[in-house]
Amino acid sequence: MLEYDVVDADAPRDPPMLTLSSDGAVGVRAAPPAQTVIRSRLPGDAAMALLREIVRDERFSEIDSDALAKATAPGKASNGSISLGMSAVADAPTTFISVASPDCTHSVAFYGLAFASAAHPEIDALQRLRRIELRLLGLVETLRNG
């Protein structure tokens, strides 16, 4: 099971923007102001292919929220410039992604992902997280537009 949300809050909403089960069942919250959930099913092996892409190809379980926050924190950069870190970005949303399997659950939360990934192209885990988010946002858009 995968859950994805991006929101200006400290926790994901209930229900989150997107839920995806390995059997292809998918739920996506309708675009605001609607509060309904659009239920659908991905064709064939599409759900498993997407989960494999996220878990195996993008190595989601290796992405650590705390390590990313530390790597993007304010401080002096290696080139001598001063970085204000992501705390300088006002009102950015927080990305929440959680993948649960029978064995374990791994969750990542990151504030200002779009901004941070643009500011830190050298941080591989951050770039992988952003690719995952863009892939999930594309699925949300597709499902919302039918």
Tens of pLDDT, residues 34-87: 879 999 999 889 999 999 999 999 999 999 999 999 998 876 555 555 555 555
Q: Count of CB atoms within 10 A of residue 41's CB?
A: 11
Domain boundaries, the chain: 2-144
What is the average pLDDT score of the chain?
A: 90
Confidence at residue 25, expressed as pLDDT on a 0 to 100 scale: 97
Confidence at residue 3, expressed as pLDDT on a 0 to 100 scale: 97
Identify the CA nearest to 16 among candidates 146, 133, 145. Answer: 133
Confidence at residue 81, expressed as pLDDT on a 0 to 100 scale: 57
Confidence at residue 108, expressed as pLDDT on a 0 to 100 scale: 98
What is the topology classification, in CATH, of domain 2-144? Mago nashi protein (3.30.1560)
Could you tell me what percent of the chain has a pLDDT over 90? 73
Q: Is 99 left (phi over 0), alpha (psi -120 to 50) or beta?
A: beta
Confidence at residue 33, expressed as pLDDT on a 0 to 100 scale: 82
pTM: 0.88
